[in-house]
A and B are shown apart, each in its own frame.
Chain A
Amino acid sequence: GENVEQHPSTLSVQEGDSAVIKCTYSDSASNYFPWYKQELGKRPQLIIDIRSNVGEKKDQRIAVTLNKTAKHFSLHITETQPEDSAVYFCAASIGNTGNQFYFGTGTSLTVIP
């Protein structure tokens, strides 16, 4: 089955610095890679996603890159703010069907003011 690895598990950055979270996957049929942000006790919220026909996508301070050959994708947050502090999960679709995903183990990001 799919195996999604996520690193690092915890990350602390100074406000204004950049944060990078990396994920690798094993299923070459995966074609959709969303990233979720989860604040304590709340639901995961989709923050950005990328499909396998695209190498990079950017939305304001957030960007995601995908390397299909190497089977890894990364989340980049620039100019971090304290409100970016949360747990971030990457996910990879199980093949190219439906809405089933394998989730990464999560990265707890702390932005220090």
Chain B
Amino acid sequence: GAVVSQHPSRVICKSGTSVKIECRSLDFQATTMFWYRQFPKQSLMLMATSNEGSKATYEQGVEKDKFLINHASLTLSTLTVTSAHPEDSSFYICSAGISNTGELFFGEGSRLTVL
């Protein structure tokens, strides 16, 4: 199946710093990618839809200035957590799909810990 790669898998940062997470579709082009946040033992919460060449669409309650999304190419979307605080600590996962099949493929996830 299609491959989506996410980096870094783990990151620890100090409060107030910014962290960038990359999501790449390795063997297909993705005009749309999705970013999720997952708390322990909970479901995937869609944060935003990343659109290549245009602004991301954020879900209600997600601060767009806090979670900056850039989708500059058909194979790369980035999520930047700005001025991170301990409450931003979470597991962040991206996904991308093959539009003509509807199938969705997930990145490995990035565990962010803010000290």
Contact = CB atoms under 8 A, between A and B. Distances in A.
Given A104-B43, A108-B41, A42 B108 contact: yes
Interface residues on B, range: 20 to 34
A99 B107 contact: no
A99 B99 contact: yes
Interface in A72-113: 87, 89, 91, 93, 98-106, 108
A99 B109 contact: no
Contact of A106 (B34, B42, B91): B42
Nearest to B104: A99
A105 B42 contact: yes
Interface string B74-93: 00000000000000000101
A105 B99 contact: no
B61 interface: no
Nearest to B6: A43
B103 A43 contact: no
B103 A42 contact: no
Contact of B104 (A34, A42, A106): A34
B111 interface: yes
A44 interface: yes
B42 A46 contact: no
B1 A46 contact: yes
A103 B109 contact: no
Given A99-B97, A106-B41, 6 more contacts: A41-B111, A43-B108, A44-B44, A46-B1, A99-B99, A99-B103
24 contacts: A36-B106, A41-B91, A41-B109, A41-B111, A43-B93, A44-B93, A46-B104, A46-B105, A87-B41, A98-B32, A98-B102, A99-B34, A99-B96, A99-B99, A99-B102, A99-B103, A100-B34, A103-B43, A105-B42, A105-B43, A106-B41, A106-B42, A106-B43, A108-B41
Closest 5 CB pairs of A and B: A99-B97, A43-B106, A32-B102, A106-B43, A105-B43
Interface of B: 1, 6, 32, 34, 41-44, 46, 49, 91, 93, 95-99, 102-109, 111
